[in-house]
Amino acid sequence: MVPRISDPIKPQSQALIPREILFGNPEKISPVLSPDGAYLAYIAPDSRNVLQVWLRTLKSSAKKDHVLTADRKRGIRSFFWTYQPATLIYLQDSEGDENYHLYAVNVETRQVRDLTPFPDVRAQPVAVEPKAPEHLLVALNRNDPRKHDVYRVNLLNGDVELDTENPGNVIGWTTDAQLQVRAALASLPDGGHEIWIRPTDKAPWKTICVLGPDDQGAPLDFSEDGGSLYFLSSHEANAQRLLAYDVLTGRDKVIAEDPEYDVGGIFAHPLKRTVQAVSFYKEKLEWTVLDKTIDDDFQALRKIRRGEIHLDHGDLSDQFWLVSYVADDGPITYYIYDRQHKKAEFLFSQRPQLENLPLQPIEPVSYKSRDGLTLHGYLTQPKSVSSKNVPAILLVHGGPWARDHWGFNPMVQWLANRGYAVLQVNYRGSTGYGKKFLNAGNREWAGKMHDDLIDGVRWLIDQGVADPKRVAIMGGSYGGYATLVGLTFTPEVFACGVDIVGPSNIITLIQTIPPYWEPMKATFARRLGVIERDEEFMRSRSPLYFVDRIRAPLLIGQGANDPRVKQAESDQIVKALRKAKKPVEYVVYKDEGHGFARPENRLHFYAKVETFFAKYLGGRFQPETEIEGHSGEEH
């Protein structure tokens, strides 16, 4: 066991930032304009500190906002406007099980209706369109838990009828301006995909693009007349490009591309549906403007505030845009931008209490892996008396087919404030850097993907930043798995580790994935292995079988209702650790799923993490207090 640090780091000049400010509910987030521009909806806590949808009437002299919804416990995190007057939709599951229902709210009467009242069914919104305002399309695994068919929901009377049946391998649907399903992304047995298209919603499907097992891509949207399909694809290129497929000629052309970075997103006119700008996420978010009529708008937006610019069309007239600015050392700020006058009206910031606090800059960094790959990431250093040889946290992102980004991160700022250097690595297998980098992670769980992380630790030590005897590893989901790998495969590197909802055994992880992930099994097989063929290989990459190697203390947090990484994944390694008399602390939250949504549970768990790190790394800590309402139970 690693002994408790008796010589903590030197005091910092800055005060401790209370955990409540960083991990409690935000004050206001996610503003969205109604299509007619009459209302602004956003998410904020109610008087019981539960996140709800709130409403502001913009075309009224009375500026008082009021709450629309009345969720009792978990809080609402996702909603969107429909084109039916005064109607919006929010999503909610039960205790983290991810079987989301769609609820319609009339903002004038405040009546709430469950549009998908089907038990054990997961609803996935497909589309709403201004030319079909009375309906929405939603994908439901109602008839078969393994596949989602498309249903048409009547927003006036609530009728739900089958629109498009899934042959079994479709994992995404795309509609045209008439709200007709016209394109699909289908998985193939070899792990590749096909993009399908059809001229009408009754015609047979036609394959327009075959994406090999190493390729990426997906259909995005149709042009206003339905004659062109915009789609992403890395076929015949390294990185995902934006292309337009002509339905009449069968030809496609490249709209935007970068040799190294994937296209991240598109900004299209709300009615004309023309692509106006494309984003690439490099060290930070970068925009390429394609429509010269909005050049002046982007120039004006860059002058308003420092930070990354994130955009959403406001109303259908395209006169107003919703703009958010993301910085590394402050909260997200939201504005309504008036295109006619080239001026922006400040709405609110995500967490105003952060604005005068001592937050640390996040620095983009890069280094070479042991086999020559260039790896990118972010380093945040504490504001200490000495920035050399400080305790450090390797914070590993989940996915693993995702990536870390620049910008405000409450966990990073919390750790830096407590005196730790924080390194985030976009290891091979991370997305955004093209298919060569993504596929370099195939069959490399606990292999080269982990080598990339260890090379990051060594780089941090070589730079003189980290004390080699005081480095910890922490992460959620795949990051939790990486923590378990770190303590079992490289026990000499880490002083302690924190695993949040991480799998401990690749075999049991694959055996218990949700049924609606069935079409993605071929992709998992290519990237992880096939149990029937590769069982020994998969065992060799599973921390569960190597608990005897663990030297350092471990803290595990788990949601009891997690549909992706079942509680059994944490239970089995905790049982093995205790049998081997290894140090482990284990907390299970009975009303959580894949991560901790309720602020009471977040605050409870991160208080334990903070005390844990202070004990084994020597950082500063805010004393633990009893958190009312949390559901955590130590096992």
Active site residues: 477, 562, 594
DSSP state letter for 517: G
Q: Phi/psi at 262 (nearest 5 deg)?
A: -70, 150
- Please answer whether residues 23 and 627 qualify as being in contact, where contact means their C-beta atoms are separated by less than 8 angstroms: no
Give the span between the Cα atoms of 489 and 544, in whole angstroms. Answer: 11
* CA angle (468 as vertex; 417, 438 as ends), nearest 5: 80
Cβ neighbours around 241 below 10 Å, total: 23
- 275-281 and 285-289 beta bridge pairing: antiparallel
Give the span between the Cα atoms of 441 and 458, in whole angstroms. Answer: 20
Long-range contacts of 383-389 (CB under 8 A, 24+ apart): 383/12, 383/13, 383/14, 383/358, 383/416, 384/9, 384/10, 384/12, 384/419, 385/10, 385/11, 385/12, 385/13, 386/10, 387/421, 387/465, 388/464, 388/465, 389/464, 389/465, 389/466, 389/467
Q: Phi/psi at 184 (nearest 5 deg)?
A: -150, 155
- 421-426 and 390-396 beta bridge pairing: parallel
Of 526, 560, 415, which is closest to residue 475 (Cα–Cα)? 415
E-state strands within 333-449 = 333-338, 343-349, 362-368, 374-380, 390-396, 421-426
- Give the containing element (helix H, strand E) for 617: helix 599-617
Give the span between the Cα atoms of 412 and 392, in whole angstroms. Answer: 11
Of 137, 561, 620, 211, which is closest to residue 415 (Cα–Cα)? 620
Six token digits for residue 361: 């800059």
- Please answer whether residues 235 and 223 qualify as being in contact, where contact means their C-beta atoms are separated by less than 8 angstroms: no
Helices and strands in the chain: count of H runs, count of E runs: 11, 36
Residues 6+ apart with CB under 8 A from 477: 398, 399, 500, 501, 502, 564, 565, 594, 595
Of 479, 476, 498, 503, which is closest to residue 573 (Cα–Cα)? 503
Task: For residue 248, count CB atoms less than 10 angstroms from its CB and return exposed for 0-12, middle for 13-18, buried for 19 or more.
Answer: exposed
Total residue length of the chain: 635
Residues 6+ apart with CB under 8 A from 547: 488, 573, 576, 577, 580, 582
